Amino acid sequence: MKQLKLTGFIFFLCFLTESLTLPTQPQDVDNFSSTQKFIEENLEYITIIAFAQYVQEATFEEMEKLVKDMVEYKDRCMADKTLPECSKLPNNILQEKMCAMEGLPQKHNFSHCCSKVGAERRLCFFYNKKADVGFLPPFPTLDPEEKCQSYESNRESLLNHFLYEVARRNPFVFAPTLLTVAAHFEEVAKSCCEEQNKVNCFQTRAIPVIQYLKAFSSYQKHVCGALLKFGTKVVHFIYIAVLSQKFPKIEFKELISLVEDISSNYEGCCEGDVVQCIRDTSKVMNHICSKQDSISSKIKECCDKKIPERGQCIINSNKDDRPKDLSLREAKFTDSENVCQERDADPDTFFAKFTFEYSRRHPDLSIPGLLRIVQIYKDLLRNCCNTENPPGCYRYAEDKFNETTEKSLKMVQQECKHFQNLGKDGLTYQYLIRLTKIAPQLSSEELVSLGKKMVTAFTTCCTLSEEFACVDNLADLVLGELCGVNENRTINPAVDHCCKTNFAFRRPCFESLKADKTYVPPPFSQDLFTFHADMCQSQNEELQRKTDRFLVNVVKLKHELTDEELQSLFTNFTNAVEKCCKAESPEVCFNEESPKIGN
C-alpha cells in the first residue's frame, strides 16, 4: 500500500467538488485527473474505514485482503474504464467484494445482507453496525517509545492500524471526521517523537484529538438517528435552526439551498457510503465558501485556509453578528390577518421561514429549544385556523413561545443547581441510578458511558454565560445516543415512546419517565457483592469504572429500591473498599465485609 499523504488527502476532502466515483462520463479534465489521482493514492484508506465500520469484528488481516481486492479493481478500471464493473458505485463494489470473501459473511454474521441487492443491501449493512462496542478488545496501546519506533520504521502500517482500530470502534462517524482524526494523530506522533518526554507529550496532545472525535461522533449519531427515525424533514429543520443562528444575515433562499446540500450529505454519510460522504461534505464546504460574502463575515479566514483546517475552522467559527436592521421579533407570523392562508398555501416553506426568522433573532436559545417552539407554533395554528377568529387566537403566540422557553430554562437551572450541590461525583451517581432505572435493558458499559456524558454536559456548561443553550444542546445529544441511530432499536415501551414520538420534545419526555415497570431483574448473584484485594490495586480511572459498573449492576438487580436505599447501599460499598484497602490483609477484610454490602 502506498504511503498516505495525509495532508494532501485532507486538502482533497475540502476542495474536491465533482464525483469521487470512477468516471464513466466526460468531465472537466482537471476534476477528472484529481479524481483519478485521489482514487489511485487513497482508495486503500477509504476501504479501511468502510470495511472496519461495516464488519467491526473483522481482523486486520481480513481487512488487508479486501484492500488488495479493491486496489486490483481500481487498477483494472484505470486501465480500461469501459469494463462493465467500472460503471458501478464504489460502495456497491465494496459490499460485493466483502460478500465474495470466502467464509467471511458466515464468520461475521452478515450473509443475510449479501442475499439482498441495491438499497436493501446497503441498509442491511448499515443496520448490522453495532454502537455498543463492548464485544471488541480494549483499544491497543503502545508505549510511546514503541509507538515512535513503529512510526519511524513503518509509518504506513501504524497509520493503517490506527485508522482500522478507530473506525471499527466508531461505526457511525463520518469518513471526513475519521480522516481528520488520522491527520491529527500523525501530527501528534511526528511532534511527540521528537520530544524528550514523549509520555507527557502524547498524553497532552492526544486530549484535543479525542475530544474532537467524541464531539463529532456524538453529533453525527444524533442527526443520523433523527434522519432514520423521523426523516429528512427533521434534519432540514435542525439545520435551518443551526445555520440561521450561525449565519443570521443569510438570505432565506440561499439558506434552503445550503440546507438541501447538507441533508443530501447526511443521507450518504449516515448510510455509511464513504465515497459519497466525502464528495457531499466537500460540496457543502465549497458551497459555503463560494457564497461567503452573502453568508457570513466570520468565515473569510477559514475559506482562505488550505489544509486541513478549512472545514474545522468553518464549523468552529463564531456566530455572525446579528444584522443591525433585524427587528427583535417578526410580526408577520403573529400579527398578520393572513397567517392561515399562507400556511395552507405551502406549509413546509411557511414553517421553514418561521424557523429561520425566529432562530436568527434568538442566538441564545438551544437548537432543541427552537424546534420545540416551532412545534408549539404548528400546534397553535392547527387549533387557531379552525376557529371563527384565527388572528385573535394566534395573536398570543409569543406568550406560548416564552412559556415554552421558560419551562426549558427552569429545567436547566434546576439541573445546574443539583450539580453545584452534589458535585461531579454525586451527580454522576444520581444519573447512573436514574438512567439505569428508566433503561435497565441497556448494557452496564453503555449506561456508565451515558451517565458520564450527561454529567459532562453540566460540568462543561453550568458555569458559562450561555448555560441554558449549552446544557440543552449537549443533554439532547446524550439522549440521542441513548435512543440510538437504528430506527429499529428498542429498549422498553416508555423509552421507545420518548425516542420515536416527537424529536423536539424528547428531553421533556425523558424528564417525566419513572422506573421501567416492565423490567424483570436478573436472578440474585452473590458474586456481584464479592470483592477481592485487586480492587485496591486498580488505578484511579479503573477503580472509578469498577465503582460505576457496580452501582449500575446493583440498580439492575435491586430495581425496586428507592434512590435513598440505593445510595445507602452504595455508601456501604465505598466504605468497605476504603476500609479494606487500608487493612493489613485486604483479602481477609473483603471476605468479611462483602456479605454485609448487599444486606
Q: Which residues are annotated as a binding site for Zn(2+)?
A: 273
Residue at grid coordinates 456479605 = 595
Sign (positive/negative) of CA torsion 95, 96, 98, 104? positive
Residues making up the annotated binding site are 273
DSSP state of 83: S
Q: Are 269 and 49 in contact (CB under 8 A)?
A: no
**Alpha carbon distances (Å) from 565 to 536, 568, 598:** 26, 5, 11
- Burial (CB < 10 A; 0-12, 13-18, 19+), residue 50, is buried
- 459 in helix, strand or coil? helix
Residue 595, C-alpha cell as written in the block: 456479605
Residue 332, C-alpha cell as written in the block: 408577520
Residue 61: which H helix or E strand, with range? Answer: helix 60-79
User: What does the alpha-carbon distance between residue 397 and residue 563 come to, in Å, rounded to a whole number?
Assistant: 40
Residue 118 region by backbone torsions, left for phi larger than 0, else alpha for psi between -120 and 50, else beta: left
User: What does the alpha-carbon distance between residue 258 and residue 252 come to, in Å, rounded to a whole number?
Assistant: 10
Q: Are 239 and 267 in contact (CB under 8 A)?
A: no
- Burial (CB < 10 A; 0-12, 13-18, 19+), residue 398, is middle
Among 522, 497, 507, 363, smallest CA distance to 440 is for 522
- 466 in helix, strand or coil? coil
